[in-house]
Amino acid sequence: MKALKPRISSRPSAEEALRITAIQVPSLPPAQIEAEDRPTTLNLRVRESTIAALTERARMEGHTLKQVVCLALAAAGVSVAAADLEDRTPRRRR
């Protein structure tokens, strides 16, 4: 049976690796990764009468239910992404 290769014990520790990196590249700032503002789902449990009122308002204003809710949130001072205020309904369903 063939013997396994011995482990390399000359690897630097994490602290040593950071020290070496800081010496080699002192002018680079730390990496900054911006989180993508991805869409996700918000599920609200409300009464049917509330849905009916929202639906009626949306029809009167030519908006979607999401637009009515997001516009109300924005009017209340909540920071709402611009994309959430757009009508993103597929054209064939409009």
Residue pLDDT tens, the chain, 94 long: 677 777 666 788 888 888 887 787 766 666 777 778 889 999 999 999 999 999 999 999 999 999 999 999 999 999 999 999 999 888 776 5
DSSP character at residue 70: H
The answer to whether position 29 is within a domain reads no
**Sequence-ordered list of residues with C-beta below 8 angstroms from that of 64, at least 6 positions apart, any chain:** 58, 87, 88, 89
Q: How many domains does the chain have?
A: 1
Q: Tell me, what's the pLDDT at 5?
A: 72
The answer to whether position 61 is within a domain reads yes
DSSP character at residue 27: T
Q: Tell me, what's the pLDDT at 36?
A: 85
The answer to whether position 92 is within a domain reads no
> 50 and 75 in contact (C-beta within 8 Å)?
no
Residue ranges making up the domain that contains 49: 45-86
Alpha helix (H) residue ranges in the chain: 14-24, 48-61, 65-75
The answer to whether position 71 is within a domain reads yes
